[in-house]
Chains A and B, each alone.
Chain A
């Protein structure tokens, strides 16, 4: 019986295709090897902030009398502390509309965002007027004697 001669081009995977697959794989691996560290490098590492339960002294009742408010830093986040009729309240000072920092307006007794005139209630953080879509997220406050602490968590 004569051995049949198979044309390499007719095989399911010819030499040419085999080399091409290998080459493609090498190029892909090389590219992945270059892109992975660069992408990893570009992602900023997480900043180490105060862990849950950390306390920050925000103010004293002497420098924050009833009917006043101020913005303080808790780590890198701004927090607005307001001494209301219902006690001391604190909220994230970042406006839920477009990220400006809100302030306390003692005349209107409202938390106001200076950028687009959003108004929030000092008692609950709820939106009372203007474009903000969400209320200000509350922050836990602990008052000990005359000291006002913010509790992260």
Chain B
């Protein structure tokens, strides 16, 4: 299909008119090319996460048109969105489910990169920025959870910010900073709302630009061999030059779009069958019997019940830090899973502990 229009030597009069003024054809041509080795298997997880983030931007923008971030009005405005506004239940439930699916896909994406050793040279920075994206996404979950101002939201936030307050040395200041005072009040709601709709979207947007730019510049990793370093025999040889590639456009893009369509269908089904609920309005004077956080915080929640307070608070923070530094901790060049038994074993143990603690926390 390589017509002259596509390669930039000609085109319709309209596209020529714009090309003379924008000089953008070369840029878009370059953007539509990402080096994808034929052996690469991404399972489209990163792209799906990006798509879900797009869904969050659209549904979040719609929700904020009706949402009112004060303790007196927040609960009623969410109820109003759910029961009065046309399709409000759908928009809110899609926002709820896309948030959950986004965390699932993000974690699966991270697991895929880990198993394929794709965080190794030269992709250490892509990995670190990716862990930053994970942290920002969890921040979205934490701040968004409070916004409906129902009992679950309120008490999960009381406990969650209390945990932040337990961090050695900076804990007390961190707690005050998060809550905007000593207790969870309208100041907290204002802060969480600001974080959720302004601070975090800008942060995640900036991180995404960096992440995607690096992916575009380096191309995808080949899971069958390490990236040749300049000056080595592998780089001097023909291993890199003769590598078989798969076209990014249209092959990979088409697969990705099919995955997005499937995800959109899943979202609508989930939102219709299991719509987002709303409990009683928050009552700061009455803690409900079973306060549990969202599922992605359950492992940290269960750990806190089992070990001394300081250890329980520091362990997840250290774990995230270690995760970010993984490319510098695992320095072997090998990428093939069957030659990285120790690394995979450590990863497996971490996964089993996390899932085990979460399950325990869920049923406790």
Looking across the interface, which residue of chain B has its beta carbon closest to that of A41?
B87
Residue of B86, B261, B264, B268 near A43 (CB, 8 A) is B86
A12, CB-defined interface residue at 8 Å: no
Inter-chain CB contacts under 8 Å: number: 27
Is the CB–CB distance between A42 and B91 below 8 Å? no
B261 touching A41, Cβ below 8 Å = no
Q: Are A45 and B85 in contact (CB under 8 A)?
A: yes
List chain B positions with a Cβ less than 8 A from chain A.
Answer: 58, 62, 65, 84-88, 90-91, 261, 264, 268
Q: Are A37's CB and B91's CB within 8 A?
A: yes
Question: What distance in Å separates the Cβ of B82 from its nearest Cβ neighbour in chain A?
Answer: 12
Tell me the nearest residue of chain B to A33, going by C-beta: B268
CB distance from B92 to the nearest CB of A (A): 10
Residues of A within 8 A of B90 (CB): 37
Cβ-closest chain B residue relative to A43: B86
Give chain A's interface secondary structure class. helix
The 9 residue pairs across chains A and B that have the minimum distance between CB atoms: A40-B86, A37-B87, A40-B87, A41-B87, A45-B84, A37-B90, A41-B62, A41-B91, A45-B85
In the assembled complex, which residues on chain B have CB atoms less than 8 Å from the CB atom of A40?
86-87
Q: 15 more A-B contacts (CB under 8 A) besides A30-B264, A37-B87, A38-B91?
A: A33-B268, A37-B86, A37-B91, A38-B58, A38-B87, A40-B86, A41-B62, A41-B65, A41-B88, A42-B62, A42-B65, A43-B86, A45-B84, A45-B85, A45-B86
Contact A30:B261 (CB < 8 A) given known A42-B62, A42-B65: yes
Q: Which residues of B contact A41 (CB under 8 A)?
A: 62, 65, 85-88, 91
- Whether the pair A38, B86 counts as a contact (CB closer than 8 A) is no
A61 to B62, CA, bound (A): 48
- Show 11 residue pairs from A and B whose CB-CB distance is below 8 angstroms, ordered by the A residue: A30-B261, A33-B268, A36-B87, A37-B86, A37-B91, A38-B62, A41-B62, A41-B85, A41-B86, A45-B84, A45-B86
